[in-house]
Structure 1
């Protein structure tokens, strides 16, 4: 599927719960090739995904679907076009697999359940089982089959492989890569985003600190936080990752939010950096050129 422009996008969106903002002035287009949201727990990834699904209204800015904001869009069409893929624990333990998938289908189309199970590599006979009778990988495939039931154009995936072992992860990633849908992937797993997303955005404390082509961003980060995330991934046969900076420090309330944890912080970091172009990426860092190798 070729998308001439972003069908779903955030335009300077600030999000929060009550009066406390947790995502600040974020702009993201979900374009062809998959988009990744990378960051540690509490960085705002899932909050932003909730806004993209229409489950959370922005404090300021807009979520756009085509040429309309979500507030004015045809939500029936939106719900067909955009589907969430949650973790396998989202399945109702009381409901049989086939019933769970059929819930998303019109009554006349419920005969498609066996085909949907086959599409995600499962035996149609599993339709009669309950979630606890399946493996973790099988449950995750059921969640994906349920999302595919309405023929979406875009999947929003929140840590779809986090509870799976490595071999099962590989099979689920193969499945997701083979689907003819666009995707927004929320994850802290850099290998997953590298496999599934052409472009990525790195979030820290609710702010996008680096955006660009995934391959470039992971191979040679331009923000110290992106580099810290990459360097924290253990390498087979290598030395344990070495933490740099104060990894326990909370985000700074003023200036660059990462400065209290950054090993490169200088006096200039007491002023909040504006995103700027650095080797084809948007980077919010005063010292981006010093981070690049």
Structure 2
């Protein structure tokens, strides 16, 4: 079932578009948004949360646009999980978690802390008295307090060490809640998301099943992201193409970086079906070989 859907959404700031004509569904099994900084991932997530109004297109919540939806129900169904720094340093942990609960249910704070693997006695502490991993679990507990159907997670493990990351990922994987994950970490998206969308310069360049997309990319940008991941015991990753080049203003936005750029790339590519996914690349067949 599709809980949220972007339909030809263009988003921007100050009248300047930064996300262009994006259509995608948030479906069961976890959905990942992959891309470098500035690719439009967080901007799109803000629109899914109702924090940013599209310049054109619509965000659909079930069978209604967000403009017409009951926002009390929406806020209960869709909860953000920001990084641990989102906690108010002046509030005790228990008060922070209880903030979203009706007064009659505030006794559930200890239960929620236990659900994310924390000792209920931590409710009396303030954020600076907890480790980074503990603070991130508090943020998740606070989001779970209202019983959401979907968590929108923005880099939930980026500030944590590897062992703490593993515990947070185990926790998220075990939750009976759907998730939209924004991350640079391909291992995290592979663990938590059945479907992924790769964004470059505010455009979806490849979409499909995460495992297939990462194992056998059909877009040179997806392949560059995958090949940039260091491997234990292997050689250092080598840059492929001009990684410093800005997106092209015309034609394929990736063509100034792309090692496979050809004359046809001066025309903008449309998303098309290929090998079980959608890809916006004139030379996708060459990438797959």
**Shorter-chain TM-score category?**
over 0.9
d(CA) in 2 for partners of 1:103, 1:111:
12
- Matching residue of 1:99: 95
Aligned twin of 1:29: 25
Structure 2 residues not aligned, in runs of 5+: none
1:169 alignment counterpart? 165
* Deviation of 1:82 (Å): 0.3
Tell me which of 7, 13, 19 is aligned to 1:17. Answer: 13
State how 1:98-247 maps to structure 2 within 5 Å.
Answer: 98-247=94-243
1:55-74 aligned within 5 A? 55-74=51-70
TM-score (norm 1): 0.98
Give deviations 1:129-169, integer Å, cap 9, x for gaps.
11111010000000000000000000000000000011100
Structure 1 residue runs of 4 or more that deviate by more than 2 Å after TM superposition = none
| Structure 1 unpaired stretches of 5+ | none
Report the Cα distance in structure 2 between the residues aligned to 1:31 and 1:274, rounded to whole angstroms. 23
Q: 1:248: how far off?
A: 0.2
| Residue of structure 1 equivalent to 2:38 | 42
Give 1:91 deviation, angstroms. Answer: 0.4
TM-score scaled by structure 2? 0.99
SS in 1 for 2:57: strand
Find the counterpart in structure 1 of residue 79 from structure 2: 83
Partner of 1:281: 277
Secondary structure, in 3 states, of the residue corresponding to 1:183? strand
Number of positions where the alignment pairs a residue of Structure 1 with one of Structure 2: 289
Q: CA deviation at 1:45?
A: 0.2
Q: Could you tell me which of 233, 243, 252 is aligned with 2:248?
A: 252
For residues 51 and 15 of structure 2, what CA distance do their matches in structure 1 show? Answer: 17
Q: Alpha-carbon deviation of 1:7?
A: 1.4
SS at match of 1:221: coil
CA distance in 2, matches of 1:276, 1:28: 14
Distance in 2 of aligned mates of 1:244 and 1:37: 22
Deviations 1:82-108 (A, max 9, x none): 000000000011111000000011111
User: Once the two structures are superposed, what CA deviation does each residue of 1:232-261 show, in whole Å capped at 9, x if it has no partner?
Assistant: 000000000000110000000000000000
SS of 1:184's equivalent in the other structure is strand
Distance (Å, rounded) in 2 between the aligned partners of 1:283 and 1:206 = 15
User: SS in structure 1 opposite 2:160?
Assistant: coil
Aligned to 1:210, what secondary structure does the other structure show?
Answer: strand
Aligned CA RMSD, in angstroms, stands at 0.5
